[in-house]
Structure 1
């Protein structure tokens, strides 16, 4: 058989290392399409001149472009037969990605746990994005629910990795040369710097975006994500195509510009959950909570830890996260990340 039906739960082993196919060279086209698909307008990723004034050689591509490209590489081997992607932890951006860089991906299976229904299981992997120089530019853990090929197949001994609740501020990697001491707040779009945010503060990002069917499929194809649930309407019992969770992440991150325009670079992903499925026709809104702040050694640069929540519009109280111990049905995404911001 020459075609690839993808791995099923029983095909994984703890310690297994998978080198993913098809490296990808990033160009300015990815930047343009990213900004067309999402309302992304962070100054550092939009303008070479602005980036040079901040000590960088040019504008890197948006941090989530690197995430999507690496994630997409892993899909044929990790989540082609997924029921759903469940969460993230211990993610770090270890260096900027520039137009002209080539990214490939590698994953290690670090945990397995069969579900009680016996028809699926959770696979934990640590994935790395590696550039043409062999440098790791992105490293993160995710876990995904994967179907079993044969429900009667014996379950492996459960191994659930012990994952850190958050990346410590001391482990954040600041891009060499980054300097916000002469930062232009006017060009960036908002006057609020690191000192203006308080731990516990809630920011309602006000704006919303309604997801279109063709739009999310174009985005998912852009990242070469081949997961069946995003394209094949016969793959779910309800006949609906599930929106790629990363599409919701990028929408929410872009919406957060209104109130967090100066949270310029994502440097860590502490944790995240795709709380409820998202479908075409849903209108996505977002709010953020400031969880922590930390100084860095880079001139004029502070680190801010944010909880980004994406919600389906129409809820009577969009700031309610959980009901009865579970995520409220309007909550689509609960993401915890560190970003760099001018003081």
Structure 2
């Protein structure tokens, strides 16, 4: 009997299956330092304990996306080791801040299955929850993945496509306890623009770009203990290229968005997202955002803004799709999220 793990194939998943993912991870200041080294991440709330304390928190949390990557990485050996592509996200909610010293683990439930018409692959939907050492949920999200079949003769499961909310209602967003932006220091945050300065429909070109390097993406992917073969093994794809981890592009685009959205401090909701096209080293990533919605919250001085974050690699940046409704080749990421901003 083999002692090695070949990963699950499509036929190994069943509806309602619960998977407890291995290797809990204690996060520390090292994660923050590496995250800020890998990306131009400089939102004040995640850079300064003093700024965070003045905003009502016990200290500076680990970046929301860093926490997401840690939890996501735990799921890879069980969910996407044999994936062809990570297709999308929905119903993502950050439930509690993650602080240095917290230990995170992950559990997933299979909530949907659909074999593709080619009989060689299928789509698996999972709802993943990240838990801290107190067994408190810190985040939850749904993602769906196209996974290879190991046995092409395995019967197709009954199709079940879950109904997912297109948008998280503002009243369902979790605002960290104690968060208070009434004394917010705009000078230290880096920009003067507050919640009331943004208009629905407004588009913001974040100007800056970063050329993706092979070594940096592999360092990032190892940091999150993401073991998907497509990110490391150049022989795994027919074109001999290592696929850039989609989360690397999410974090890069989010960090680039600081220029124009420096006060969109905390990510609290992920409404949806698509990795529109694969990314490889050598491409230069730029980003723009569109304001989709705004809402007030119950926290003092805190507003919520719904943003569309798009990462592109050239082309007409603001043109996303062709006449056929498909993403144009230069579009890498199309992400819809809620962030918290001072009123």
> Shorter-normalised TM-score: what interval?
over 0.9
- Gaps (5+ residues) in structure 2? none
Counterpart in the other structure of 2:325:
325
Distance in 2, matches of 1:273 and 1:162, equals 17
1:178 aligns with 2:179: yes
Shift of 1:279: 0.3
Matches within 5 A, 1:33-182: 33-182=34-183
Q: CA deviation at 1:57?
A: 1.0
Unaligned runs of 5+ in 1: none
For 1:326 and 1:244, locate their aligned partners in 2 and report how far apart those are by CA, in whole Å: 21
**CA apart distance, 1:152:** 1.9
Q: Distance in 2 between matches of 1:234 and 1:151?
A: 22
Displaced runs of 4 or more, over 2 A: none
- Quote the RMSD (CA, aligned, Å): 0.5
CA distance, structure 1, for counterparts of residue 309 and residue 28 of structure 2: 28
* Structure-1 residue corresponding to 2:338: 338
1:5-64 superposed Cα distances (whole Å, 9 cap, x missing partner)? 000000000000000000000000000000000000000000000001111110001000
SS of the residue corresponding to residue 340 of structure 1 reads strand
Cα deviations by residue, 1:251-304 (Å, 9 ceiling, x for unpaired): 000000000000000000000000000000010000000000000010100000
Could you say what secondary structure the match of 1:322 adopts?
coil
Match of 2:298 in 1: 297
Number of aligned residues:
341
C-alpha distance in structure 2 between counterparts of 1:151 and 1:238, whole Å: 24
1:207-222 to structure 2, matched below 5 A, reads 207-222=208-223
Deviation at 1:163, TM superposition (A): 0.3
CA distance in 2, matches of 1:232, 1:266: 32
Report the Cα offset of residue 159 of structure 1: 0.6
Q: CA deviation at 1:151?
A: 1.6
- Distance (Å, rounded) in 2 between the aligned partners of 1:153 and 1:333: 34
Q: CA deviation at 1:154?
A: 1.1
Deviations 1:93-133 (A, max 9, x none): 00100000000000000000111111111000000000000
Moved more, 148-157 or 21-30: 148-157
TM-score normalised by L of structure 1: 0.99
